[in-house]
Amino acid sequence: MTRTVYVNGSYLPETEATVSIFDRGFLMADGVYEVTSVLGGKLIDFAGHAKRLERSLNELDMAAPVTTDDLLAIHRELIARNDITDGLVYLQITRGSAGDRDFAFPDPATTPSTIVLFTQNKPGLAQSPQADKGLKVISIEDIRWGRRDIKTVQLLYPSMGKMMAKKAGADDAWMVEDGFVTEGTSNNAYIVKDGKIITRELSTDILHGITRAAVLRFAAEAQMEVVERNFTIDEAKDADEAFITSASSFVMPVVEIDGAAVGTGTPGSVARRLREIYLDESLKAAI
């Protein structure tokens, strides 16, 4: 099926949607993005994603081309036009095209930002068999730039990380800086020890995950103890459980780190419970 996508105010077949070769997203990775999941035809935590988008744009001095209300309407229109029950909506905003290549930012008054949205159809997204199996991760050095709290489209190193994992027979990579785990290539990282959920605290070192915020809130409501602090790969290998969170994987258990089984080597009860609570509560609040 040819998807209908959104580009700068128009709904078009994906085969007819174009962006300039001078677009700064293409030339400079000068753009930000969001990925919002869709379950049962409804958006999960749209407000959270819209808020983080606004923050990313502000941090980069980039103008928002549409209002949050318009953004919601575009998301919904794409879900309807593409008949998405379960899947993802990808949104990207770049600093636009000044019609040439130049490091200096163009004047936003004459160079409007580019906005693109498309859907990804993923039937049964919440029933992923991976959730029953758990993920194998490897550790790699985190050599990304220092503003990982901004959700930019600079995804070359995370892509290389996924390839390193694939080559090693694993599913993903956890990145390590100064001896401590920062996050996964496209997710936040957690361990569980003696019933405590441990995850790195928010800073410019990691993306402020929308799923992370919701999961930590639900964990606290369920009287589970959460500790926001650094942890090492050795501590993770020695943990009772490990898991990741993201908009596309929700809560996903990690069962192996650098070839060593975590806990029993099967998805742990805390991760399983958090996944259940997260999906239940998010579905209830979906719009």
Examine residue 245 and tell whether it contacts ligand PDD (CB under 6 A): yes
Examine residue 35 and tell whether it contacts ligand PDD (CB under 6 A): yes
Examine residue 186 and tell whether it contacts ligand PDD (CB under 6 A): yes
Size of the site for ligand PDD (CB under 6 A): 14
Q: Tell me the window of 1-9, 103-111, 195-203, 208-216 that interacts with ligand PDD (CB under 6 A).
A: 208-216
Q: Tell me the window of 13-21, 127-135, 180-188, 255-263 that interacts with ligand PDD (CB under 6 A).
A: 180-188
Examine residue 212 and tell whether it contacts ligand PDD (CB under 6 A): yes
DSSP string covering the chain: -PPEEEETTEEEEGGG----TTBHHHHH--EEEEEEEEETTEESSHHHHHHHHHHHHHHTT---SS-HHHHHHHHHHHHHHTT-SSEEEEEEEE--B-SS--SSPPPTTTSPPEEEEEEEE-TTGGG-THHHH-EEEEEEE----S-TTS-BS--HHHHHHHHHHHHTT-SEEEEEETTEEEEETTBEEEEEETTEEEEPPPSTTS---HHHHHHHHHHHHTT-EEEE----HHHHHTSSEEEEEETTTEEEEEEEETTEEPTTSS--HHHHHHHHHHHHHHHHH--
Examine residue 25 and tell whether it contacts ligand PDD (CB under 6 A): no
Examine residue 162 and tell whether it contacts ligand PDD (CB under 6 A): no
Examine residue 209 and tell whether it contacts ligand PDD (CB under 6 A): yes
Examine residue 92 and tell whether it contacts ligand PDD (CB under 6 A): no
Smallest distance from ligand PDD to CB 37, Å: 8
Q: Which is nearer to ligand PDD, 97 or 278 (CB)?
A: 278
Residues forming the site for ligand PDD (CB under 6 A): 35, 183, 186-188, 207, 209-212, 245-248
